[in-house]
Each structure stands twice: as structure tokens, then as C-alpha cells.
Amino acid sequence: MSGEEISAVEPMDESQLLKDDESHLTTADAVSLFKNSLNKALQRQKSEILSEFKKHNLLLKLDTLNQRNKILKIADRHGWDTVHEYLDDPLADSVEDASKLRTAVFRANRKRTANKPYSRGGGRGGFNAREFFRGFSKESGPRNDNYSQQNNSQQQYNDGLCFYCKRPGHTARFCPFKARTFSSTKSAPATITSAPPLS
């Protein structure tokens, strides 16, 4: 039998061939039977593989969308610099995801504050000139470092609010509640005296 004769034979059904006596099975019938069963198996395999590819592709798209939604939620809550810190390390597992997010937030906040070395403190963010003006001095003219003790003590009670004890009438430099340790290197025990009379 030549190759032309094998291809010219019509395909036979398996059940039809099995009903016939096995001795009557010709080569053409055997090739047809093999070809039919092989085609059916290949079609079954092809449909399973295609459905598996479609399923895998769908899961991949779903994971990508979930990751994008997660990144958008992080950006809404913590800012895009946190997202950039979060996406910096592609080798980390999803098991460490929560700790990775916390460290990303910490690094982003640290970078934000590092960019502003001289941030304004307190208040409503504006400059208030009244806080820095202490009033006019009773004496006008250049100051001399050699004041008399009386002038110095009188000056300390006219200056305003003490930043050490928060009481008016003297400054922190001359605060009676502050321990004086300027005279020696060893510190003496602090003694608390009563506040000077306010006049």
C-alpha cells in the first residue's frame, strides 16, 4: 500500500472497527483508527491548554489591577513618595508586605522632613513682630559692658518676662530660681529663694 492509498481511505469509527473481526483489520483501517483517536486526543488537549492559558491570563490581569488599586490607596493615604519607596525593593515577598509599607512610610516621612531644614515652629505659620519686640529702653545711646551693680540689678527687673520661671520682672539670666553654677567648675546645690517683690 502506498501513501496515496492510506490518505484516500475514509475515516472509520472506532466502534465500527471493533465490531468487525480483528483479522479483517487492514493497514488502512488501522491508520484511520489511529489518526482519528490521535486527532480527538489532540483536540481535547488543545482545548484544555487554551482554557488554562485564558485562565492564567485572566488571573494575571486581575493581580495587576489589584496591585494598581493597592498602590493608589497607598498614594491617597501617604503620598507618592511613599509609593516610590514601597516599589523600590522588587525582591521582597508579599508576606512582608505590611512591614515593608511601614518602613516605606517612615523613609518617605524622613525624606520629607530632611528637605526642610529650617521649618517654622509653632503658631499659625505666620511671622508675628509683636513677639519679638520688647519695647523701648529707658536709656538711649550705646551700651557699655561695665555697668555698676545697681544699674545691672535695676535693669534685670525692667526687662520683662523670664523664660526660665515664666514670671515677669526679670530675665532668665538673672532668675532667682535658677541655680548659679558660673563661678566654679563644681556645681553647688541649688537653693530656692523667694521671688523678688514685683514693683
Tell me the pLDDT tens digit for each residue of 40-58: 999 999 999 999 999 999 9
Q: Note every long-range contact of 133-142, with CB atoms under 8 Å and residues 24 or more positions apart, other chains counting.
A: 134/159, 134/160, 135/160
Give the pLDDT confidence score for residue 184 in this predicted structure: 44
Query: Which of the residue ranges 1-15, 44-58, 126-140, 143-157 has the most confident prediction, judged by mean pLDDT?
Result: 44-58
Torsion of CA 135, 138, 142, 144, to 10 degrees: -110
pLDDT at position 16 over 70: no
List of residues 6+ apart from 43 with CB closer than 8 A: none
pLDDT of the residue at 48: 94
- Work out the percent of the chain whose per-residue pLDDT is above 90: 20
Greater confidence (20 vs 52) lies with 52
Q: How many CB atoms lie within 10 A of CB 109?
A: 15
pLDDT at 143 over 60: no
Supply the pLDDT for residue 24: 75
How much is the average pLDDT of 133-152? 54
Please report which confidence band the pLDDT of residue 183 belongs to, taking 50, 70 and 90 as the band edges: very low
Alpha-carbon distance of 146 to 157, in angstroms, equals: 18
pLDDT tens digits, residue range 90-100? 655 565 776 77
Task: Give the Å distances, CA to CA, from 7 to 26, 28, 32, 79, 188.
Answer: 14, 8, 9, 70, 116
- Cα–Cα nearest to 192, from 164, 171, 169: 164
For residue 56, the model assigns a pLDDT of 94
What is the grid cell recorded at 74? Answer: 497607598
**Average pLDDT score over the chain:** 71
Is the per-residue pLDDT at 1 higher than 50? no
